[in-house]
Amino acid sequence: MTEKRISNRAAILELLRDGLPHSQMALLSVGGLRYGARLYDLRRMGHTIDTINTGDDKFYYRLVPTKQAELDLGVEATAPDNEFLKFEDQRRWIK
């Protein structure tokens, strides 16, 4: 695995750690053109990343907080009640 792949993956993970949805463009800006492959890598490593389709050909990605992530980071998960938000609720999180 190349250093660039690892650094892009780490940059995407750092962006997603806040638990909020992030746009394709945000991931592209930190992860490069192959951000989809880095999301695949992160999922294979055990991270749960939701894909949110807003219905207008825009996609957002959100790291689902887990108990293990809370232990690793030493913080509580940011999503209310640590539950996946309903689609209507997600739209208010997307800026």
Distance CA 79, CA 4 (A): 30
**Complete domains list, the chain, with CATH:** 3-90 (1.10.10)
pLDDT digits (tens, 9 = 90+) for 68-94: 555 555 544 444 443 444 444 554 555
Q: Round to whole Å and give the CA distance between 69 and 89.
A: 23
pLDDT tens per residue, range 7-35: 999 999 999 999 999 999 999 999 999 99
Interacting residues of 87 by C-beta distance below 8 A, sequence separation 6+: 52
pTM above 0.95, yes or no: no
Alpha helices in 3-60, H assignment, sequence order: 3-16, 24-31, 35-44
